């Protein structure tokens, strides 16, 4: 969305000042904070802090209402202070203003003075912070509160042998580390603020509302007497720097250092402690050594990382420094705060890290939002995100790992215990980065290596494919998918396929199927198919291949289920593979036995599998499947469906995981599963299927569903479109026969009806030619005027034979095309001019007359094509 | 009663005087139990309430998935209301898969905008929103500074709508308005009524069609409800507003009946639609197995169709049977346990019925931002005094629409339906469903919830994230009823089982045994003398 769009923030990468202010106050002993404004600010902030820290967070509000905006909020604030004091007895109260208070121009200083003069007995210290939400982010709010504390509490104390340590917003766990570190080097110190216990408390039987931990007001008062201030923050302006104030007001010199993350910054931190008079214990040196050792161990993995870091300026600085040290390349460096210094401060080291590994594009930006960060991640090819949990949306969208280590963390627990400081804390980031890269490699390297190096080798040696169960060659599969007419629309006219009818048995009974015909939806049929023995199938393959060099696919599509006839399937495929190493093997199944044979199918070199999965709900399944024959038992109803569905899904997942291209066929049955197909296709996608093919149910006479209304094309298209959000939809399915040969548009199987492979030259003495208007090729199911193609048969009244399929333009597709009405009618008539009979579901009056005039007998019927043809011929 | 006094004990005289009107211990005596509600929170008492903006943007309009909602103001408000409600929305091909729920859009105002006004920036932001998202509708939600600096979001909306031809609605829901989120609900309801409902003409196809009002689809509650309604043969035209859309809201007036879930946040729409379009509404509750059955039966009675009634009965029979065993198992674990519920505006009532299904009793309950009718029922309405804060929120008056007004039944029929137990055009409130001695606390605050845990000693408290951790530190189970702690759905039949599982898991976690330190198991001398822990 880019830099020129500057008026809209899309998904903020920052919060507001009151958030920072109350966080700072949480680190002060006996302190309660109150936000002067409308109560939503307190509620929202409590909600966000509680989620991150997994602790109760008490923030009061002056609950300003509309009246307050007109007459000022003074009375509300005074009331609020009184109630807060009465109920909580705090020692310190932090009053932070909000947008509302600042916009109406509340004079907090005066209100607090009035409070003290009206309540002289109250000893509570009230600290004011001007923290309008529109004036800065939580980063600035945090320091403004600290500055307020120091300005309003620090005194010109007697000089003592202690130092001040002031930090930017760090986690309670890092604070605990910092404190123990300062103790270990033997320094007397005052830490501001100290969130170590207040936002990561231990379990106690009684919850204490008032924090007894944190920096005390007395300690802050003494800060003016320290001999040195160490301020751990890089980008705070002098105006709001507590250390700068202490120097200006009390002459306390200060050192400003970065968050001690990574080697250099942690070294600098230790150096600062040494210069402050601390003695570095041996344990620190050992810790440093261990971290160095870990860097050496991890450097190979870290070099893979292209990191996007986002968050508060100091955090970003710390993480970027570490990344550059360990050899990771920060490709996106972003903060939501306005902080140009961060960019200039990091530009050199980031560019150097990028140049080292020939990375060309890096983005460093302040005032950024997540929408921009997402775009930059794509642009730079980032492979890892580091920051708050708000990065999860990008992580999900771009499938990137996210290391959550900055405020706020809302979708994990443990935000309060994140450690990134010190050699010890640096391990967390170092290992997080390295392990993210290793995990990525684990998940992908086999495929990548196979794609790069094994593709040619595999395709050149047939026997190796048959045994290649270790590497599934995805590039090869992709190539095969492109030349597979059923999967690739572009190849459906150029590449031929051949279905081998070697699988007569079936192991389930679908209610839409009559077993005396072939499976009507796995494959189309109706006409008698010859069932071949594996050896015959192999011979037929050789014949066809010799005539059609563009034959790219051999499939097994019934007439029963390929896996219910597995011995035959295996035998045929092995023979063909031995003869033609390049041919694509494809197979369709109801999936019942898939989990048993998936591995073996892969070994046989089957790369494309179609599973007919009509439902994922056993209750619906019970309506579709009459029974399932499984392991020697006949299961009916829900029990049978449950086994079938579970095996289908397991099988699909097993194949998809190995890189096999799985097509899921869904037979859409109106009122049975049509509304459920959205869920089915969604599950198919989740299981790893490549495409789904939603086919209209064809009502077979004699089947349990023979009376079921068929989905019309419009409904079908709507269904496919609605499922398209889940997974790619196949739209060019022709519902082919189990023994189809040729391209999808041109079935030549008739020529190969016997294994001799010679075209069937039948006698033409009493044969009559008949045209059938049929969509499926199985039933006469089309209106004459809507027929796109006619199935042409010849029959002598005793037997029938299929001649060819003829395509015509339909002539009544919609009002807008009615101008061409006549023209198209002519074309239809022309297409069937040589026939004596035409069979259709309906024929209008006008065309009926035209047909009769042409000497063609119009017959309206709704029957199987074969039997309709016979009936019609017998009538003549 | 004793517990109430104990709870109020800690307050100063002034605060005591105020809070005692908001805290009732139910007596069910000769005089009806009453309560004060919907008045200002006391500053400094850590109220659980949010602001007007939260009610408008966060609750009501935020879930509309095809609407680009722009927060006009500083960044904080936009950040804090970003994805915090768990209102789920699925991409919907019917609305071009437009789903802006995962986004937070903001004008990110800076000091200069406060000084010189933000209208220009807002206009440009709208232009950018249109460029980037191509939404069907844009809504602008104002934050505190907007009203103060005089930005006129309605005028901007009008201008940009005229310029780009995209429906644009400005909401003046500045945080300081009213006394709680409730003001924001009202403002949002007015906007939906004025600009969206009734602008569509897509007639619903089903035989029995309803709108689901006040269902925000937290943790997929709405989807479970729609599943059940669909099984019964009832089609949902629009949902206000969980997984809802501008597209469907436009046609809401063409449905047969309004079902109201969250009474507090959406009753204005139900009532205005009754006046303008003659549509009846029923207060339903799909939280709880018994409550769900009752709600379905009321719908059946309303439509008065034997086939529908038969289908509803068969769905109820099948669904209850499918969860019977699970529910019995959990009930065996949970029977006799007690609970406290402190949530926004309606859930504190709804969940009592689900708990009762599990043999649990609610001994204390409270609303953050309810009005008296949510406690005492619609009958109390005429007696509610209107104060300055309420008067500041616009009441819009609607007239019967000359073309679209249609009534299903004559008045006598409605009266007879009401007599027959159909909760038509009215709400009975929470109190009648509670038992004697229970505490009812309006505008509960952090301290009171903490105290109540100690005084009433429930086994579990249902509340929000703000109270969750202190409750657990008191050794009491907790479950968030705003976000369900990432669980859900809790509605309908399947949801009831999930809820039962979650409650049982909270009460029976082995952690409770471990967090009691061994030395606490030995009675201490001081403890026995002072009468237990509650004064400690």
Cβ distance B176 to A38 less than 8 Å, yes or no, reads: yes
Residue A104 CB: number of other CB atoms within 10 A? 19
CA distance A65 to chain B (A): 5
User: Is B51's CB within 8 Å of A40's CB?
Assistant: yes
Put simply, the answer to whether B74 touches A87 (Cβ < 8 Å) is no
Catalytic-labelled residue, pool B41, B54, B141, B255: B54
The Cα of B97 is separated from the nearest Cα of chain A by a number of Å equal to: 8
Contacts of B148 in chain A (CB under 8 A): 69, 100, 103-104
Q: Does the ipTM surpass 0.85?
A: yes
pLDDT score for A735: 55
Mutation site for A-interface testing, chosen from B13, B48, B76 by largest number of A Cβ within 10 Å? B76
CA A674, A679, A685, A687: dihedral to nearest 10 degrees? -110
- For every residue of A751-814, DSSP letters joined together read GGSSTT--------SS-EEEEEE-SSSSB--SBGGG-SEEEEEEE-SS-EEEEEEEE---S-S-
Give pLDDT, residue A742: 62
Strand partners, B30: none
Active-site option among B185, B263, B347, B349? B185
**CB–CB of A14 and B475 under 8 A?**
no
Least confident of A209-213, A484-488, B442-446, B530-534: B530-534
Residue A813 φ then ψ, to 5°: -95, -10
Nearest to B129 among A8, A41, A68 (CB): A8
Q: Is residue B51 flagged as an active site residue?
A: yes
- Distances in whole angstroms, Cα of residue A296 to Cα of each of A349, A431, A576: 20, 12, 53
pLDDT, one tens digit per residue, over B94-137 is 777 889 999 999 999 999 999 999 999 999 999 999 999 999 99
Radius of gyration (Cα) for chain A, nearest Å?
39
Q: Which residues in B lie closer than 8 A to residue A131 (C-beta atoms)?
A: none
pLDDT for A493 equals 60
Rounded Cα gap, residues A143 and A242, in angstroms: 7
Based on the residue annotation, tell me whether B85 is a catalytic residue of this protein: yes
pLDDT of residue B518: 57
Query: How far apart, in Å, are the Cα atoms of A818 and each of A161, A790, A826, A840?
Result: 99, 22, 13, 21
Tokens (6 digits) for A797: 């009244």
Q: Which of A5-14, A256-265, B360-369, B373-382 has the lowest mean pLDDT?
A: A5-14
Helix or strand or coil: residue A200?
A: coil
Q: Work out whether strand A163-167 and strand A125-129 pair parallel, antiparallel, or are unpaired.
A: unpaired
Measured in angstroms, the CA of A592 and the nearest CA of chain B are apart by: 27
Mutate to test the interface with B, among A99, A202, A391 (most CBs of B within 10 A): A99
Tell me the C-alpha to C-alpha distance, in Å, between residue B435 and each of A243, B28, B338.
60, 8, 12
Q: Which residues are within 8 A (CB) of A442 and not within 5 positions of it... i.e. 6 or more apart?
A: none
Would you say the C-alpha torsion B228, B229, B230, B231 has a positive or negative sign? positive
Q: What is the side-by-side order of every strand in the sheet holding B439-442?
A: B23-25, B439-442, B361-367, B338-343, B460-463, B477-480
* Residue A747 pLDDT: 54
The pLDDT assigned to A863 comes to: 82
Strands A837-840 and A661-668: unpaired
Low-confidence ranges of chain A (pLDDT < 70): 1-5, 205-207, 455-476, 485-494, 514-530, 558, 700-701, 732-766, 809-824
What does the alpha-carbon distance between residue A804 and residue A748 come to, in Å, rounded to a whole number? 8
Number of Cβ within a 10 Å radius of residue B202: 11
Tokens of residue B519, six digits: 């030395």
Q: What is the pLDDT of residue A599?
A: 84
Six-digit token string for A724: 């398209």
By C-alpha distance, which of B286, B176, B356, B161 is closest to A106?
B176
Contact in structure between B299 and B321 (CB atoms under 8 Å): no
User: CB count, 10 Å around CB of B66?
Assistant: 24
Is the model's pLDDT at B414 over the cut of 90? Answer: yes
What pLDDT, in 10s, does the model give residues B155-201? 999 999 999 999 999 999 999 999 999 999 999 999 999 999 999 99
pLDDT tens digits, one per residue of B213-246: 999 999 999 999 999 999 999 999 999 999 999 9
CA distance A392 to chain B (A): 11
A571: burial class by Cβ within 10 Å (0-12, 13-18, 19+)? middle
Nearest-neighbour CA in chain A from B371: distance (Å): 17
* Cβ <8 Å between B450 and A48: no
The distance of A1 to chain B (nearest Cα, Å) reads 7
Residues of B with Cβ-Cβ distance to A18 under 8 angstroms: 76
Element (H, E) at A170: none
All residues of chain B having their beta carbon less than 8 Å from the beta carbon of residue A86 are 11-12, 15
The distance of B111 to chain A (nearest Cα, Å) reads 6
For B458-502, how does the pLDDT look when each residue is reduced to its tens digit (9 = 90+)?
999 999 999 999 999 888 999 999 999 999 999 999 999 999 999
The distance from CA A656 to its chain's CA centroid, rounded to whole angstroms, is 17
CB contact under 8 A, B105 and A9: yes
CB contact under 8 A, A8 and B450: no
Closest approach of chain A CAs to the CA of B68, in angstroms?
Answer: 11
> Are the C-beta atoms of B78 and B104 separated by less than 8 Å?
yes
In chain A the domains, ranked by start, together with CATH numbers, are 17-275 (3.40.50.1980), 301-440 (3.40.50.1980), 466-723 (3.20.20.70), 762-875 (3.30.420.130)
Would the CB atoms of A39 and B50 count as touching at under 8 Å?
A: yes
Tokens of B367: 């609303």
CA distances from B530 to A737, B497, B523, B527, B536 (A): 88, 42, 12, 6, 8
Of the candidates A384, A238, A390, the residue with the CA atom closest to the CA atom of residue A312: A390
Q: Cβ of B176 and A5 within 8 Å?
A: no
Annotated catalytic residue, options B19, B49, B72, B85: B85
- Residue B23 to residues A197, B20, B365: CA-CA distances in angstroms? 34, 5, 10
Query: Given A7, A76, A134, which is nearest B124 (Cβ)?
Result: A7
Q: Do A39 and B41 count as a contact with CB atoms less than 8 A apart?
A: yes
Cis preceding linkage at B241, omega within 30? yes
pLDDT tens sequence across A402-452: 999 999 999 999 999 999 999 999 999 999 999 999 998 888 887 777 777
Concerning whether B56 is annotated as a catalytic residue, the answer is no
Residue B145 is nearest to which of A18, A44, A103, comparing CB atoms?
A103
Cα distances (angstroms) measured from residue B45 to each of A81, A135, B449: 10, 27, 12
Quick check: A56 and B40 CB within 8 A? no
The DSSP secondary-structure symbol of B190 reads H
Partner residue opposite A67 with nearest CB, options B73, B102, B388: B388
Sheet holding A189-192, edge to edge: A189-192, A163-167, A228-232, A254-257
Tokens 């409308």 label which residue? A38
DSSP letter, residue A277? T
Are A96 and A33 spatial neighbours (Cβ–Cβ below 8 Å)? yes
Element (H, E) at A131: none
Q: What is the Cα Rg of chain B in Å? A: 24
Q: Domains for chain B: give ranges and CATH numbers.
A: 52-195 (3.40.50.1980), 197-323+378-426 (3.40.50.1980)
Which residues on chain B are in Cβ contact (under 8 Å) with A368? none
Is-cis flag, bond preceding B147, omega within 30? no
Residue of B37, B41, B48, B51 marked catalytic:
B51
Q: Read off φ and ψ for residue B120, nearest 5 degrees.
A: -60, -45
Q: Which residues of A touch B177 (CB under 8 A)?
A: 65-66
Residue in B closest to A33 by C-alpha: B44
Q: In the prediction, which pLDDT does A495 show?
A: 73
Residues of A in contact with B93 (CB under 8 A): 721-722, 724-725
Closest partner CB to B76 (pick from A7, A16, A58): A16
pLDDT digits (tens, 9 = 90+) for A730-789: 776 555 555 566 665 555 555 554 443 333 434 444 678 899 988 877 888 888 887 888
The shares of helix, strand and coil residues in chain A, as percent rounded to the nearest 5, are 45, 20, 35
Angle between helices A17-26 and A39-53 (to 10 degrees): 60
Q: What is the dihedral of CA A536, A540, A545, A547, to 10 degrees?
A: 150
Contact B107 A725 (CB under 8 A): no
**For the residues B503-516, what does the mean pLDDT come to?**
89
Q: What is the nearest CA distance from B121 to chain A, expressed in angstroms? A: 6
Out of A12, A60, A64, name the one closest to residue B106 (CB): A12
Q: Which residue of B has its CA nearest to A70?
A: B148
Tell me, what's the pLDDT at A800? 82
Is-contact A618 A638, C-beta < 8 A?
yes
Q: Across the interface, do B51 and A137 touch by the CB < 8 Å criterion?
A: no
* Angle at CA of residue A456, ends A454 and A460, nearest 5°: 115
Nearest to B232 by CA among B325, B319, B321, B323: B319
Closest-CA residue of chain B to A204: B473
Is A746 or B259 the better-scoring residue by pLDDT? B259
The answer to whether B54 is a known catalytic residue is yes
**A52: nearest CA partner in chain B:** B465
| Chain A residues with CB-CB distance to B144 below 8 A | 37-38, 98-100, 103
Instruction: Give the integer Cα–Cα distance in Å for A390 and A407.
Output: 9
Of A102, A129, A177, A109, which is closest to residue A28 (Cα–Cα)?
Answer: A129
Chain A contacts of B47, Cβ < 8 Å?
39, 43, 61, 63
Q: What's the full length of chain A, in residues?
A: 876
Inter-chain contact A205–B533, Cβ cutoff 8 Å?
yes
Question: Closest by alpha carbon to A25, among A145, A171, A125, A155?
Answer: A145
**What are the tokens at A701?**
């006479």
C-alpha angle with apex A389: B345 to B471, nearest 5 degrees? 45
Residues of chain B by 3-state class (helix, strand, coil), percent to 5: 50, 15, 35
Alpha-helix residue ranges (DSSP H) falling in A154-281: 172-184, 217-222, 242-250, 262-275
Q: Is B419 exposed, middle or buried (0-12, 13-18, 19+ CB in 10 A)?
A: exposed
Residue A58 has its nearest CB partner, among B40, B46, B475, at B46
Residues A352, A328 contacting (CB under 8 angstroms): no
Beta bridge partner(s), residue A404:
A387
Phi, psi of A702 (to 5 degrees): 95, -10
């Amino acid at each position: 969305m880019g830099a020129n769009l500057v008026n809209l923030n899309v998904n903020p990468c920052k919060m507001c000042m009151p958030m920072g202010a109350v966080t700072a106050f949480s680190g002060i002993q006996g302190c309660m904070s109150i936000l002067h404004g409308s109560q939503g600010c307190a509620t929202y902030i409590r909600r966000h802090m509680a989620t991150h820290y997994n602790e109760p967070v008490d923030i009061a509000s002056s609950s300003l209402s509309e009246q307050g905006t007109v007459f000022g909020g003074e009375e509300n604030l005074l009331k609020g202070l009184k109630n807060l004091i009465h109920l909580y007895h705090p020692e310190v109260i932090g009053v932070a203003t909000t947008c509302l208070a600042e916009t109406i121009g509340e004079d907090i200083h005066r209100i607090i003075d009035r409070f003290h003069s009206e309540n002289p007995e109250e000893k509570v210290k009230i600290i004011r912070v001007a923290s309008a939400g529109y004036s800065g982010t939580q980063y600035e709010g945090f320091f403004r509160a600290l500055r307020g504390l120091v300005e309003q509490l620090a005194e010109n104390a007697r000089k003592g042998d202690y130092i001040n340590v002031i930090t930017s917003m760090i986690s309670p766990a890092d604070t605990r580390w910092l404190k123990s570190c300062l103790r270990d080097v033997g320094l007397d110190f005052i830490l501001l603020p100290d969130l170590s216990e207040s936002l990561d408390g231990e379990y106690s039987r009684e919850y204490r509302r008032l924090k007894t931990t944190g920096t005390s007001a007395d300690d802050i008062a003494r800060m003016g007497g320290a001999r040195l201030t160490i301020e751990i923050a890089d980008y705070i302006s002098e105006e709001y720097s507590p250390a700068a104030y202490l120097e200006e007001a009390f002459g306390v010199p200060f050192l400003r250092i970065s968050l001690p993350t990574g080697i250099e910054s942690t070294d600098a931190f230790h150096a600062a402690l040494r210069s402050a008079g601390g003695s570095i214990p041996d344990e620190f040196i050992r810790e440093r050594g261990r971290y160095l050792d870990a860097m050496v161990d991890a450097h190979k993995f870290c070099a893979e990382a292209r990191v996007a870091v986002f968050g508060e300026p100091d955090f970003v600085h710390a993480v970027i420094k570490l990344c550059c040290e360990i050899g990771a390349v920060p490709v996106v460096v972003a903060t939501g705060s306005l902080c140009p210094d961060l960019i200039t401060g990091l530009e050199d080291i980031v560019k150097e890290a990028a140049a080292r590994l020939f990375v060309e594009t890096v983005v460093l930006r302040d005032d950024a939002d997540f929408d921009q960060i997402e775009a930059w991640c794509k642009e730079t090819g980032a492979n890892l995100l580091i920051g708050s949990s708000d990065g999860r949306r990008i992580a999900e969208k771009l499938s990137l790992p996210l290391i959550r280590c900055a405020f706020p963390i809302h979708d994990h627990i443990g935000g309060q215990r994140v450690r990134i400081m010190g050699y010890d804390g640096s391990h967390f980031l170092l290992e997080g980065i390295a392990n993210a890269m290793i995990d990525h490699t684990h998940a992908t390297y086999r495929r990548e290596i196979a794609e790069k190096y094994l593709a040619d080798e595999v395709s050149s040696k047939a026997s190796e494919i048959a045994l290649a169960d270790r590497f599934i060659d995805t590039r090869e599969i992709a190539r095969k998918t492109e030349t597979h007419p059923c999967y690739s629309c572009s190849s459906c006219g150029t590449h031929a396929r051949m279905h081998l009818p070697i699988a007569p048995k079936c192991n389930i009974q679908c209610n839409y199927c009559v077993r005396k015909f072939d499976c009507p939806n796995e494959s189309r049929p109706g006409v008698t198919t010859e069932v071949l023995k594996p050896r015959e199938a192999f011979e037929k393959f050789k014949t066809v291949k010799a005539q059609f060099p563009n034959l790219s696919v051999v499939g097994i599509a019934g007439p029963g289920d390929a896996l219910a006839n597995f011995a035959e399937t295996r035998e045929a495929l092995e023979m063909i593979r031995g003869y033609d190493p390049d041919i694509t093997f494809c197979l369709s199944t109801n999936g019942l036995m898939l989990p048993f044979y998936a591995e073996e199918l892969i070994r046989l070199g089957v790369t494309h599998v179609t599973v007919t999965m009509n439902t994922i709900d056993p209750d619906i399944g019970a309506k579709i499947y009459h029974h399932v024959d499984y392991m020697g038992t006949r299961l009916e109803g829900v029990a049978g469906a449950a086994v079938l569905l579970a095996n289908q899904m397991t099988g699909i997942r097993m194949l998809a995981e190995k890189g096999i291209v799985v097509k899921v066929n869904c037979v859409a049955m109106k009122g049975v599963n049509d509304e459920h197909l959205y869920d089915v296709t969604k599950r198919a996608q989740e299981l790893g299927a490549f495409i789904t093919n939603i086919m209209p149910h064809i009502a077979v006479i004699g089947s349990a569903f023979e009376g079921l209304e068929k989905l019309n094309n419009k409904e079908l298209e709507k269904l496919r479109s609605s499922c398209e959000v889940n997974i790619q939809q196949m739209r060019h399915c022709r519902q082919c026969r189990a023994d189809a040969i040729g391209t999808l548009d041109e079935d030549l199987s008739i020529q190969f009806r016997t294994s001799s492979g010679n075209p069937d030259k039948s006698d033409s003495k009493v044969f009559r030619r008949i045209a059938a208007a049929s969509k499926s090729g199985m039933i006469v199911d089309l209106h004459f005027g809507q027929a796109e193609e006619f199935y042409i048969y010849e029959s002598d009244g005793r037997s029938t034979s299929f001649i060819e399929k003829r395509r015509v333009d339909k002539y009544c597709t919609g009002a807008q095309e009615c101008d061409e009405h006549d023209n198209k009618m002519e074309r239809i008539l022309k297409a069937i001019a040589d026939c004596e009979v035409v069979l259709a579901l309906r024929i209008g009056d006008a065309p009926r007359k035209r047909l009769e005039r042409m000497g063609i007998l119009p017959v309206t019927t709704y029957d199987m094509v074969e039997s309709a043809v016979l009936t019609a011929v017998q009538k003549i | 009663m004793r517990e109430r006094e104990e709870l109020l004990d800690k307050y100063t005289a002034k605060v005591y005087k105020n809070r005692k009107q908001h805290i009732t211990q139910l007596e069910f005596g000769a005089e009806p139990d009453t309560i004060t509600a919907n008045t200002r929170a006391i500053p400094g008492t850590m109220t659980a309430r949010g602001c007007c903006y939260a009610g408008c943007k966060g609750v009501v309009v935020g879930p509309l998935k095809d609407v680009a909602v722009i927060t006009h103001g500083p960044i904080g408000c936009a950040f804090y209301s970003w994805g915090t409600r768990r209102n789920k929305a699925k991409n919907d091909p019917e609305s071009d898969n437009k789903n802006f729920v995962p986004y937070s859009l903001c004008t990110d105002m800076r000091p200069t905008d406060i000084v010189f006004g933000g209208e220009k920036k807002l206009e440009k932001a709208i232009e950018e929103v249109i460029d980037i998202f191509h939404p069907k509708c844009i809504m602008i939600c104002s934050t505190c500074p907007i009203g103060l600096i005089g930005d006129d979001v309605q005028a901007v909306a009008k201008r940009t709508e005229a310029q780009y031809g995209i429906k644009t609605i400005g909401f003046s829901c500045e945080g300081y308005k009213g006394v709680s989120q409730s003001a924001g609900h009202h403002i949002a309801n007015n906007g939906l009524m004025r600009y969206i409902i009734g602008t569509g003409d897509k007639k619903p196809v089903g035989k029995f069609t309803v709108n689901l009002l006040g269902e925000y689809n937290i943790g997929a509650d709405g989807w479970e409800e729609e599943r059940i309604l669909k099984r019964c043969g009832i089609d949902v035209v629009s949902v206000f507003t969980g997984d809802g859309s501008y597209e469907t809201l436009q046609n809401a007036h063409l449905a047969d009946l309004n079902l109201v879930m969250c009474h507090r946040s959406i009753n204005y729409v139900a009532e205005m639609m009754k006046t303008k379009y003659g549509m009846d509404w029923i207060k339903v509750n799909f939280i709880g197995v018994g409550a769900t059955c009752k709600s379905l039966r009321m719908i059946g009675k309303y439509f008065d169709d034997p086939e529908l009634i038969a289908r509803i009965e068969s769905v109820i029979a099948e669904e209850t049977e499918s969860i019977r065993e699970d529910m019995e198992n959990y009930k065996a674990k949970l029977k006799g346990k007690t609970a406290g519920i402190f949530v926004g505006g309606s859930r504190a009532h709804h969940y009592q019925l689900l708990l009762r299904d599990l043999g649990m009793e609610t001994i204390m309950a409270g609303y953050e931002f309810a009005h008296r009718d949510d406690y005492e029922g619609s009958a109390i309405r005429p007696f509610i005094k209107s104060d300055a804060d309420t008067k500041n929120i616009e009441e819009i008056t609607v007239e019967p629409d000359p073309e679209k007004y249609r009534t299903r039944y004559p008045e006598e029929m409605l009266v007879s339906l009401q007599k027959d137990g159909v909760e038509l055009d009215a709400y009975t409130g929470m109190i009648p469903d509670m038992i004697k001695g229970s505490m009812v606390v309006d505008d509960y605050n952090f301290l009171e919830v903490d105290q109540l845990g100690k005084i009433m000693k429930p086994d579990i408290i249902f509340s929000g994230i703000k109270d969750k951790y202190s409750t657990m530190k008191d050794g009491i189970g907790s479950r968030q009823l705003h976000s369900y702690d990432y669980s859900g759905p809790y509605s309908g039949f399947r949801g009831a089982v999930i809820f039962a599982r979650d409650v049982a898991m909270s009460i029976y976690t082995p952690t409770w045994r471990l967090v009691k330190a061994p030395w606490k198991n030995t009675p201490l001398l001081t403890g026995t003398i002072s009468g237990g822990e509650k004064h400690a």
